[in-house]
Structures are given as structure tokens and as C-alpha cells.
Amino acid sequence: MTTLIQKYAEYAALEAQRDLNTETLHHAKRVVLDWFSALYPGFVSEVGENIVATFEEECGIGKSRIPSLNKNAFSSTAAWVMGTTSHAVEFDDIFRDAVYHPGVPVISAALAVADEYQRSGLEFLKAVVVGYEVSTRLGAAVQPSHYKYFHTTGTVGAIGSAAAAAFLINPNDKNIFSHAVATATTFASGLQQAFRSDAMTKALHGGHAASIGVTAAKAAAKGITGALDILEGEVGFGAALSKDPKWEKATLNLGTDYNVCKMTQKNHGCCGHTFAAIDGVLEIRSQILNQNLNLEDVENITVRTYQTALDVTGNFNPESAFQCRFSLPYVVSHGFLHGSVRLNAFIDEQMASIETRELMKKLILESDDELTSKFPNQRAAKVKLTLKNGQSFEHFSPCRKGDPEAPLSDEELDNKFYELVEGVLTTSHAKELRDQIWNLENIRVADLTL
């Protein structure tokens, strides 16, 4: 019987022999641009600086560039660093149905390997697509039970990065692809507790997944074999990490309907479980200002949303920047007072704001059974804000700004990129890199001015 991994290998080999259609190619470039938006500010975050210091002895050798550092490293090390930094500031993309940030492991691994093997921009984009298509489907197949204990970006991400890396090493070799994915699967890891407590480990899940994928692919190319039934086997990935995997989703429309075209690109710099509530309170904020009412006159704000959002982001007393990014009370309060939740929401001055902290005390969080039943395919929230004069405002956000139903435009993605890389890249450097990404199918990866 053909295993899932072998089906993925057949798909990858098919993708190698044909052109990406216009829509898929365009969306592949969108996810790459969005990944760079998250990557560069990650280098100046605390966890980014620490991970660079961790691998300092391994920098300066190898063929893979590490952006912003002007240093090379071995591809597995470069993937570790990029996977961590691109996950550090919570501006990375999301595939909703899998509760997963595919760009972090997949693009980090693909860029490192494409650099080492001197691949073209088009080969790189194809590898990104393959990594996305395989891993997003696998992620959807093991949800929602997988997410109760495991961090999909660390687990499924290792498989996506292996797929992309193997494709770049030899896109036509199904044997390398199969054994790369099989080997990476047994190292897939990442526990939820890492971001239920104040720690930096969540970002490292992305780095580990990217690095494991690269290592597994290179090992497969040298003859290392893996268990090809490790995904659906009796004691394999699905059995161990999911309650009731729906394997039909793992290959549904593979190669005909592209998930890379259905990504959520973040409009807020925090956990995606908070976005619908932020969108709702921003809409109410606009209504209040349009009526010339005072933002300070809030009596209370009630947020009703799905249970997982409350489990992950229900912290009323966040202290660190990491905790604030995973605090629905904090980001909703900050967004209401300032009109956005961007990088500056997590500087010390803002996190210590008395005005924000007082408003947080007025938030009421409630689980909504209907919205919970629709997770993870829908991420919705109902927000009700009552003023001290008794006047109330309500808004239902059935999806999030940036979701496939309400996508960021190309112009908005450009603006996000320029905003987030400011202070890390010069204006001219940012413009040059942005132009190269939109023309990536016509240049070599080595031509990217990282």
C-alpha cells in the first residue's frame, strides 16, 4: 500500500515537472515577502539576539547566508537562526485550518538550502510551495486535537521544511524526498506549555523545525532511510500526536487546489487567536470617535470567542513582551486606546501604561460554544463595549483582517514589509529587496540582497 509520505513524494515530483500557475506563483512571492517582514525585526528582538549568540561559533563558515548579519553558516545552522528569528515577533503567516505558521520553518529551510545549492529563484519558490502544500494538509488532518498539547509549527513544521529542503536538493528524486520527510517526522516536537508560561522557547520551535528539515533532507541524500509509514503507522505521528487524525485531509486536492493561496497574513503583531477581537474593538473604536465620544469613558468590554483563544491568551497579568503578545486583555486594550497593535505595542513604556492596565481590568472574557465548535476553520469573536453613560456598541468579526476572506492587498503587504524592516534595513536596501522578491522567478537566490 502506498503511504502518505510516498503520495507526497509523487506530488513533489509532479510539481518539479510543471510550471506554477500564475495565481500560485504570485501567492508564493507574497508569502516570501511576508516572511521577510517577520524575519528582520526578529533579529533585533531579545530572543533573536540570543539565538545568534548561541550559534556565534558556527557563523562565518558554510555557504548559507544569514540575513542582516553579513555572515554565512552551514545550512542547518542558518535555518535554525532564521526559523527562530522569523517567529520571534509574531508577525508570521498562518494557515488557519492547521493552526500553523508554515513560513517560519518552510521558508527558513528553503532559503538556507537554496543558498547552499545555488538554486534559482523559481526553484526556491517551487520548494516553498511544495513545503506549504504538504505540511498545511498534514496539519489540518491532525487538528483540532493535536493543538491541545502540541505546537504545530514545531511538529508539522519539521515535515514541511524537510519537504522543501529535499525538493531543492533534488526535485526529481522521490527516494530522497520520502526518506527526508520520514526522518524529520520522528524529530517533530514542540509543546504548548512553552507559550503558556513566560519563555522564549516558542520561537525556537520554528528554528528547530527548520533545522531538522534541512538535516533530514541532507541525510536522506546521503542514504539515511526513514520509516515511510511513520505518519499513519500504528505507533506513528498521527497515533501519538492526534486523537482522531482525518487522513483524507492529508492529500485532499493536493496539486490542484493550493493552500499557499489561502494564507492569513498578520495585521497585528501578536497571537492570531486575538485578532478577531482586536478587529472588533478597532471597529467599535472608529464608531466611538465618529460620534465624538471619549475613549476614556469605557464601563466594560466583553469579548466572546472560541475556547482555545481563551486558553492560550486569557492572561490578565502579562509582564514580558512575550506574555503581552499572548494576552487578549492587553492587545485588545492597547488596540482600543492606540488604534493598532504593532511592534511598538510591546516596548516597556507601552506595556507599563497605567491607562492600558486600567482598561484591562474592565475586560470580560467569555467562551462561546458556537464559535468554539467552528474552530479551527473559523476564528471569530463577538465584542460588546459599554460606555459609562449606558450606551453600548457591538461588533461580530466572523473572520480576521488578513484571512483569505479579508486578505491584505499586495500594497498592504508592501507597507507591512517597509514598516517592520525599518531600523534594520536602510530604505534603499528594503526597496531593492522588495523589488527582487516580486521578481524572484527571474533571478537567482544568490542575487537577493539579504
Note the pLDDT tens digit of each residue in 44-87: 999 999 999 999 999 989 999 999 898 999 999 999 999 999 99
Bond before 105 cis per omega within 30 degrees: no
What average pLDDT is seen over the chain?
98
Note the pLDDT tens digit of each residue in 272-288: 999 999 999 999 999 99
Domain residues for 105?
A: 4-266+407-447
Q: Is residue 402 part of a domain?
A: no
Only one residue has cell 543558498, namely: 115
Domain count along the chain: 2
Give the length of the chain: 450
Please report the beta strands in 265-412, taking only residues with DSSP state E, as ranges in sequence order.
298-305, 363-367, 381-387, 392-397
Residues 255 and 293 occupy one common structural domain: no
Report pLDDT for 1: 86
Cβ atoms of 245 and 150 within 8 Å: the answer is no
Residues 155 and 259 occupy one common structural domain: yes
Give the mean pLDDT of 403-422: 98
Residues 261 and 199 occupy one common structural domain: yes
Q: Is residue 316 part of a domain?
A: yes
For residue 339, the domain's CATH number is 3.30.1330.120
* Whole-angstrom distance, CA of residue 252 vs CA of residue 231: 16
Q: Is residue 300 part of a domain?
A: yes
Q: Is residue 386 part of a domain?
A: yes
| Angle of helix 152-169 versus helix 103-116 axis, rounded to 10 | 30
Give the mean pLDDT of 376-390: 97
Residues 222 and 246 occupy one common structural domain: yes
- Under DSSP, is residue 116 helix (H, G, I), strand (E, B) or coil? helix
Report pLDDT for 125: 99
Residues 316 and 416 occupy one common structural domain: no
Note the pLDDT tens digit of each residue in 305-362: 999 999 999 999 999 999 999 999 999 999 999 999 999 999 999 999 999 999 999 9
Cβ atoms of 133 and 259 within 8 Å: the answer is yes
The one-letter amino acid code at 95 reads F
Cβ atoms of 263 and 404 within 8 Å: the answer is yes
Rg (CA), the chain: 21
Task: Name the pairing type of β-strands 381-387 and 392-397.
Answer: antiparallel
* Whole-angstrom distance, CA of residue 229 vs CA of residue 215: 20
Residues 345 and 231 occupy one common structural domain: no
Note the pLDDT tens digit of each residue in 217-229: 999 999 999 999 9
Task: Name the pairing type of β-strands 363-367 and 298-305.
Answer: parallel
Cβ atoms of 163 and 8 within 8 Å: the answer is yes
* Whole-angstrom distance, CA of residue 205 vs CA of residue 201: 7
Q: Is residue 349 part of a domain?
A: yes
Note the pLDDT tens digit of each residue in 296-310: 999 999 999 999 999
Q: Model confidence at 167, in pLDDT bands (50, 70, 90)? A: very high
Report pLDDT for 21: 98
**Type and span of the H or E element at 366:** strand 363-367
CB atoms within 10 A of CB 246: 13
Q: Model confidence at 237, in pLDDT bands (50, 70, 90)? A: very high
Residues 302 and 439 occupy one common structural domain: no
* Whole-angstrom distance, CA of residue 133 vs CA of residue 435: 25
Q: Is residue 367 part of a domain?
A: yes
Note the pLDDT tens digit of each residue in 130-164: 999 999 999 999 999 999 999 999 999 999 999 99
Residues 281 and 239 occupy one common structural domain: no
Residues 99 and 168 occupy one common structural domain: yes
Report pLDDT for 313: 97
Note the pLDDT tens digit of each residue in 173-194: 999 999 999 999 999 999 999 9
For residue 124, the domain's CATH number is 1.10.4100.10
Residues 50 and 28 occupy one common structural domain: yes
Q: Is residue 15 part of a domain?
A: yes
**CA 299 → CA 243, 274, 330, 356, 386, distances in Å?**
42, 21, 16, 14, 6
Percent of the chain with pLDDT over 90: 98
Residues 239 and 305 occupy one common structural domain: no
Q: Is residue 249 part of a domain?
A: yes
Residues 125 and 238 occupy one common structural domain: yes
How are the residues of the chain apportioned to helix, strand and coil, as percentages rounded to the nearest 5?
Answer: 60, 10, 30
